């Protein structure tokens, strides 16, 4: 009896292995031939970011000459669909895949703007959280700080570029400095709520325009941000309570450990 069991055991193992292979083959076969019956779209992005919606994504998928619905899943050109979606300037990444039930899943991640740049000639663009530029949108305006003044940055004319990718761009333009400043403001809730405008002077010095107080805050060329903002926060905490901060027209943070204030001539100028 034991000898018979020993003889039958390899046969059982072989049959079980064959069953597994047949099952895998059936799954693979059925998955590849299941027609796409539904396209499920997810659009991701930061809070309040609405550059592209589900309908816009569906139009890109359906209107570019690539059949999807009713096509066996194995024949859907997934790479081509991902490439078209990633070509949209406001899209940071796209992922497309199908499941055994015949669903085509499309996940799109939008770029998250941190700053809007307005050049001296009126042209403009956004800089996103990862340091890429993207064009302005006719239907949607992101609620981010605005940089303006003596600027002629290339992001308005060169499409999607990385602001800190080339030394020539960094040396000739201010986008990299503005990007670092925008990230600094974004990461601190206090400064993010207080500062909504940056003005670049003719000499390249940056001034901040707060939402309250009416001052101009001069921070220089954009270096040593942590030290300069630490001085400003200390000044707000210890200096401002002793005097009406409306009396100051300018707060200069460029000089070492000093905060140099310029008094306003007349409070009625506010």
Q: What is the dihedral of CA 91, 97, 102, 107, to 10 degrees?
A: -30
Angle at 49 between CA 48 and CA 55, to 5 degrees: 115
pLDDT in tens, 184-222: 999 999 999 999 999 999 998 999 999 887 789 999 988
Type and span of the H or E element at 8? helix 2-33
Task: Let me know if 17 is exposed, middle or buried by CB neighbors in 10 A (0-12, 13-18, 19+).
Answer: exposed
pLDDT in tens, 67-109: 788 889 888 889 999 999 999 999 999 999 999 899 999 999 9
**How many domains would you assign to the chain?**
2
Distance separating the N- and C-terminal Cα atoms of the chain? 104
66 pLDDT band, cuts 50/70/90, is low
**Does residue 224 sit in the same domain as residue 117?**
yes
**Does residue 74 sit in the same domain as residue 136?**
no
Q: Per-residue pLDDT averaged across 248-258, rounded?
A: 87
The tokens for 208 are 């901040």
**Does residue 92 sit in the same domain as residue 180?**
no
**Does residue 172 sit in the same domain as residue 125?**
yes
The tokens for 49 are 């970011």
**Does residue 248 sit in the same domain as residue 202?**
yes
The enclosing domain of 42 has a CATH number of 3.10.20.310
- 26 found inside a domain: no
In 3D space, the residue among 91, 157, 174, 80 whose CA is nearest the CA of residue 128 turns out to be 91
Range of the domain at 97: 38-110
- 3 found inside a domain: no
């Amino acid at each position: 009896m034991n000898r018979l069991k020993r003889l039958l055991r390899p046969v059982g193992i072989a049959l079980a292995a064959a069953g597994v292979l047949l099952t895998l083959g059936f799954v693979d076969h059925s998955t590849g031939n299941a027609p796409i019956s539904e396209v499920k779209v997810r659009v991701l992005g930061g809070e309040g970011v609405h550059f592209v919606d589900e309908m816009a994504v569906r139009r890109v998928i359906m209107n570019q000459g690539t059949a999807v619905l009713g096509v066996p899943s194995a024949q859907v050109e997934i790479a081509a669909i991902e490439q078209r979606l990633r070509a949209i300037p406001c899209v940071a990444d796209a992922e497309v895949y199908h499941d055994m039930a015949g669903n085509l899943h499309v996940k799109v991640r939008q770029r998250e703007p941190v700053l809007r740049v307005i050049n001296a000639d009126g042209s403009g663009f956004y800089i996103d959280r990862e340091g890429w530029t993207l064009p302005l949108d006719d239907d949607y305006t992101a609620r981010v700080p605005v940089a303006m003044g003596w600027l002629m940055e290339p992001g308005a004319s060169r499409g999607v570029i990385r602001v800190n990718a080339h030394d020539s761009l960094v040396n000739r333009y201010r986008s990299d400095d503005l990007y670092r400043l925008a990230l600094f403001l974004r990461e601190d809730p206090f400064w993010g709520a207080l500062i909504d405008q940056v003005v670049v002077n003719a000499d390249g010095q940056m001034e901040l325009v707060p939402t309250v107080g009416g001052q101009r805050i001069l921070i220089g060329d954009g270096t040593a941000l942590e030290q300069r903002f630490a001085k400003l926060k200390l000044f707000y905490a210890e200096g401002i309570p002793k005097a009406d901060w409306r009396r100051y027209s300018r707060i200069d943070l460029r000089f070492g450990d000093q905060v140099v204030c310029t008094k306003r001539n007349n409070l009625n100028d506010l």
